[in-house]
Amino acid sequence: MRMRNSSRSEHSELGDAGRPPAILVVDDEPGVLDMLSRALGPTFEVTASQDGAEAVRQVEKGTFAAVVSDIHMPGMSGIELLRAVREHDADLPVLLVTGQPSWEGAAQAIEYGVFRYIPKPFDLPTLRQTVTQATQLYRLARLKREALSLGGIAAGPSDRAGLEASFERMLASFGMAFQPIVSLSTKTVFGYEALLRSSEPSLPHPTDVLEAAERLGATKRLGRAVRAFAAQRGSQLEHDWLLFVNLHPSELLDPDLTDPSSLLMSMASRVVLEITERAPLSSLEEVRERCSELRRLGFRIAVDDLGAGYAGLTSFAILDPDIVKVDMNLVRGIEGSAIKRRLVSSVLSLCREMDMLLVAEGVETPAERDVLANMGCDLFQGFLFARPASSFYQPAF
Ligand code: G
Ligand code: MN
C-alpha cells in the first residue's frame, strides 16, 4: 500500500530551491506510517510505503533524497532494505527507527552504512532536523561523486553495503585479459598471464577488487571465480603454452584449489600459480607443505612482483618457486640505473644456481629489453611485446 500526500513527479531528489526534498517513509504499521508522514509532510515531499519490497521499487525510481524506515517489519526488515538501497545508490541516506534498540542491531546498521539509528521514542522536531541534514549530505555526496568523476576518478563505495553491492556486480561481470610471456632466444610464446579485468566503475582496478574482497572477507570467493574463469579460457591454450594465474597467498590453502573435479586441477601441469610478494605469507609451515603438495600435483609456482613487496628470503624458502617474476619497478629504466642492474643481475645468477626461471615483468622499451637480455635474461613480459588482450595474442619478433 502506498500513500502520497502530493504529486512528486516533477521533483528532483536534490530538493531544488523552493521545493521540498523527496523522502520515502517505510513502516508496516499504518498508524505509525501516517503519523510519520504527517509529521514530515510539510518539510518534505513524503512517499509512504508499508513494506520493504515496495519501498525498494520506489527507491529504484531514483527520486528520493533520504529514506526513513522501521527496522522490524514482516517480510523485508529495515536492514535488508538498507542493503537493497545500497545496490541502487551508494549514497542515499537511510535512517532506521526501532522500538527494540539493541547493540547488535545498531552495530549491524552501522556496518551497512545507516545514516542514523533512531530508538523510539524520538521527538519529531529532532527527526525532522536529522532528515534535513541527511538530504543535505546526500546532495553533497552526489556533488562530490560528480566532481570525482569529472577528474576521472570513480568514487568507491563508502560503506559495507555499498561495497558488497559493487563487489557482487563486479563478480557477475568481470572478464580476464591475457598477456604473453615470451622467450627471446626461441622467439616463441612461453605462456600467458591471466589478469582480472573489472568493468564495475566503482572497482576499476584489480587492486580495488582485491582490497574490496579483503574488506568483505571474500578473497576465497574471488579466487575461486577468477581461477574458474582463467581455467575456462586457459583450457583453449594451444601448443605447450603455460597459463599463469595470480593467487592471493590466502588462496593457497583453499581446498578448492586441489579439488579433482576443478578444471584448473585437470590442467595442473600447464599451470603456473603466481604468489605475490606484496602480501605476507601466513602460517608458514602449512604453506610450505601445501606448496609441495601443489607441485606433486603438477602445478608450478612463481614468486610474483619480486622487488615490490616484502624484503627477505621468506617467500623463496617457503614457496620453493620454479619461476621468479621480477617486478617492473626493477625493470623500469634499468639501462640508466647501476643499482637496478646489479640487483637484477644478482637475482639472475641466484636463479640459475637454484634452477629457477626468471621473468622480467613490465618491459616497455627496447633499451630495457636489451640490457636484460645482455645479462642473460630470456623470459619477458611487458607492453613492448604485447599488452594484455582478451585473446591469446602472439607478438611478432
Ligand atoms: O602484479 P602483477 O605482476 O600480476 O601485475 C601485472 C599488471 O601489470 C597487469 O595489470 C598488467 O596490465 C600490467 N602490465 C603488464 N605489462 C606492463 C608494462 O609493460 N608496463 C606497465 N606499466 N604495466 C604492465
Ligand atoms: Mn602476476
pLDDT in tens, 354-389: 889 999 999 999 999 999 999 999 999 999 999 999
- 271-300 pLDDT, tens per residue? 999 998 777 776 677 888 999 999 999 999
- 128-178 pLDDT, tens per residue? 999 998 998 888 777 777 766 666 666 667 788 889 999 999 999 999 999
CB distance 132 to ligand 1 below 6 Å: no
Residue percentage of the chain with pLDDT more than 90? 65
Ligand in nearest proximity to the CA of 387:
1
Phi-psi region of 113 (alpha: psi -120 to 50; beta: other; left: phi over 0): left
State residue 383 phi and psi, 5-degree precision: -60, -30
- 118-130 pLDDT, tens per residue? 998 899 999 999 9
CB distance 131 to ligand 1 below 6 Å: no
Of 228, 87, 215, residue with least CA distance to 162: 87
CB distance 195 to ligand 1 below 6 Å: yes
Per-residue model confidence (pLDDT) at position 353? 84
Per-residue model confidence (pLDDT) at position 258? 96
Q: Which residue has the cell 583453449?
A: 236
- Residue with the smallest CA separation from ligand 1 atom 14 is 362
Atom of ligand 1 nearest to the CA of 327: 3
Characterize the bridge pairing of strands 300-306 and 271-276: parallel
- 167-207 pLDDT, tens per residue? 999 999 999 999 999 999 999 999 999 999 999 999 999 99
Query: From the CA of 201, how far away is ligand 1's center (Å)?
Result: 20
Angstrom distance (rounded) from CA 397 to CA 391: 18
Kindly list the distances between the CA atom of residue 123 and the CA atoms of 21, 61, 264, in Å, as whole numbers in the listed order: 21, 30, 60
How high does pLDDT run on average in the chain? 88
Residue 319 banded pLDDT, cuts 50, 70, 90: confident
Residue 314 banded pLDDT, cuts 50, 70, 90: low
Atom of ligand 1 nearest to the CA of 278: 1
Please say if the pLDDT value at position 10 is more than 50: no
Residue 6 banded pLDDT, cuts 50, 70, 90: very low
- 225-284 pLDDT, tens per residue? 999 999 999 999 999 999 999 998 889 999 999 999 999 999 999 999 999 877 777 667
CB distance 388 to ligand 1 below 6 Å: yes
